[in-house]
Amino acid sequence: MTDNRTVEQRRRIMQAVGTKDTGPELAVRRLLHSHGYRYRLHQDGLPGHPDIVFPSRRKVVFVHGCFWHGHTCHKGSLPKTRIDYWEPKLVANHARDVRTALQLRALGWEVLTVWQCEIRNLDKLTRKLVRFLDGKLGKRNATAKKPVGGDVA
């Protein structure tokens, strides 16, 4: 299958893809905030600049796009064109993700990856996040006066 965009159109589309405040990341942040969690964003000094950081819990969340980070879902499949360009790039992205997670764990941080495709099922994603952050299931009291764990959004 050939690309239905010109080289210039495809280049502009790819250049417009951001690394911070992406749609999936914002959705995860809204979900966490609505459940009473407070966090820091893209904290400097940590390997990989995690998307969402819970300093007092020593936990981080990466929100990965399925295509860019090589997820095994349909959105993460290798393009049909320019495989010689995309395959090494996406393999290198995956290798960097693995190295970053290992570095964070060596520093005593717990790491969770949320995939773009997981955002389709918010109930399941909520359970995954709560289980990671609290070690249990259930909805948190979003009306609490004091931020949980002292983390600040």
Annotated domain spans of the chain: 19-150
pLDDT-derived band at 119, boundaries 50, 70, 90: very high
Helix H or strand E encompassing 29: helix 23-34
Phi, then psi, of 115 in degrees rounded to 5: -95, 145
Share of the chain above pLDDT 90, in %: 49
pLDDT digits (tens, 9 = 90+) for 47-91: 999 999 999 999 999 999 888 788 888 777 777 777 888 888 889
pLDDT at 83: 83
**Residue 101, pLDDT above cutoff 70:** yes
pLDDT at 14: 60
Tokens of 18: 């951001």
pLDDT at 23: 82
pLDDT-derived band at 3, boundaries 50, 70, 90: low
- Assign domain 19-150 one CATH number from 3.40.30.10, 3.30.160.20, 3.10.20.740, 3.40.960.10: 3.40.960.10
- Check residue 147 and report its DSSP letter: P
Residue 119: CB atoms within 10 Å: 18
Asked whether 124 and 118 are in contact (CB, 8 A), the reply is yes
- Check residue 48 and report its DSSP letter: T
Q: Which of 135, 103, 118 is nearest to 63 (CA)?
A: 118
